[in-house]
Amino acid sequence: MTEPAAVAPLAGIKVVDLSKILAGPYVTMSLADLGADVVKVEHPEGGDPTRSWGPPFNGPDATYYLAANRNKRSVTLDLKSPEGQEAVHRMLASADVVVENFRPGSTLARTFNYQELSERYPRLVLLHISAFGDHGPLRDEPGYDMVAQASAGLMSLTGEPDGPPVKAGYAMGDLGAALFGIIGVTSALVERARTGRGQYVTTSLYESQLALHINWATGYFATGQRPGRLGSGHPSLVPYQAYPAADGHFVIAVGNDGLFRRLCTALGHEEWADDPRFATNRDRVTHRTALNAKLESVLVDQPVAHWCDLLKSEGVPVTPIRTLDEVYDCPQTEALGMVQKVDHPDVGALRQVAFPVTFRGLRPSVRTAPPTLGQHSHDVLAELGYNDAEIGRLLGGRLADLCGPATPGTPSRRTGQRPK
């Protein structure tokens, strides 16, 4: 039986990853998932800061780092040194894409500015990710995910109405910028195929959050009213939130009047569907508090499983609120093949959440584990034309650590293979 063809729509694309933390590395990991050859350039002392963002750790690195760096090769270079910069330029000479999140105005931003790079490498696509964008009074401000969530409004919309602002459980500032960055890079590659020219692509955590406001923004533009927090509620649909049952909470999502009538029938309160306060979604949004009080008075009498089984049988969208252990034990997760295993040189089998898009019914595979710091330095530099003596000088005393003989029974830092 023949093996299925590898899913690699970006095969042949070379990416130089000069970014760190989450937004940039998530972009480059996604490009690597899609088949691109990604070289992650890290500082010799500590590498990407997320390697130490723990606990939890798994092997030498924090799980935060392990989440966003698979399918890449790691090389350690000091980008502020002439030798490190020369090595990066050798990479860029044959690269298609470079991703960086240098702080605007910094030495590295000036050293690797697109205007100069485009003159030397006219086919190069450069993605720059910043906190607040390339223009405006905040352009030079640094920013982490929480700064973006706070400054761009997400925290003002998250949390209970009578509680404090709350950040989203995911790093939506970083991940929003990453997703738009992926769109920007792939679009620029399509344009380059047509024109032969590279492109300067920029996005920011701040801009991406504004783009994700969607209905919150258009609602504000129409009314001029500042929206407030609704907990798990929806600004435009009721009932559409989490409700308490006898043993926990679960979600009901009613998107039209027909579904509301089904809900009322299932709960034994057909009269609610004919109540002028609740008959249409417009009415239900206006009388949100009154309707939710009625629902809660009924739903609290039975456990989550009871309501989920009953309402699902009536075609009402409903689900328990699963914890992550339940999510990863869920048959649906298994059926989709969203969790894959890959061998890590220090910890052995490592589980990773795979790329969430399939091509011709096939999902891109997790090919290699997130690299240990400098794991591929020797190999990458040799590919760039450096001989062993030059590599030794470039890496200094780290050469022996990266490619010297491993202790019997332990993996080599360079190859990740255990000695026979």
At 328-353, the pLDDT tens digits run: 999 999 999 999 999 999 999 999 99
At 227-264, the pLDDT tens digits run: 999 999 999 999 999 999 999 999 999 999 999 999 99
At 280-304, the pLDDT tens digits run: 999 999 999 999 999 999 999 999 9
Residue 412 has pLDDT above 60, yes or no: no
Spell out the residues 6+ positions from residue 187 whose beta carbon is closer than 8 angstroms to its own.
201
Tokens of 360: 């011709």
At 36-94, the pLDDT tens digits run: 999 999 999 999 999 999 999 999 999 999 999 999 999 999 999 999 999 999 999 99
pLDDT category, 382, cuts 50, 70, 90? very high
User: With pLDDT > 90 as the criterion, what percentage of the chain qualifies?
Assistant: 92
Please classify residue 20 by burial: count the beta carbons closer than 10 Å to its beta carbon, then call 0-12 exposed, 13-18 middle and 19+ buried: buried
Which residue in 174, 274, 325, 329 is the catalytic one?
174
State the CB neighbour count (10 A cutoff) for residue 373.
24
Quick one: CA torsion of 406, 411, 415, 420, rounded to 10 degrees? Answer: 80
What's the pLDDT at 398? 56
Residue 134 has pLDDT above 60, yes or no: yes
What's the pLDDT at 64? 98
pLDDT category, 2, cuts 50, 70, 90? very low
Spell out the residues 6+ positions from residue 310 whose beta carbon is closer than 8 angstroms to its own.
266
Handedness of CA 52, 57, 62, 64 (dihedral sign): negative
Residue 319 has pLDDT above 90, yes or no: yes
What's the pLDDT at 4? 53
What's the pLDDT at 66? 98
pLDDT category, 417, cuts 50, 70, 90? very low
What's the pLDDT at 403? 47
Residue 400 has pLDDT above 60, yes or no: no
Distance CA 2, CA 18 (A): 38
Residue 35 has pLDDT above 50, yes or no: yes
Across the chain, mean pLDDT equals 93
Q: Is 174 a catalytic residue?
A: yes
At 147-171, the pLDDT tens digits run: 999 999 999 999 999 999 999 999 9
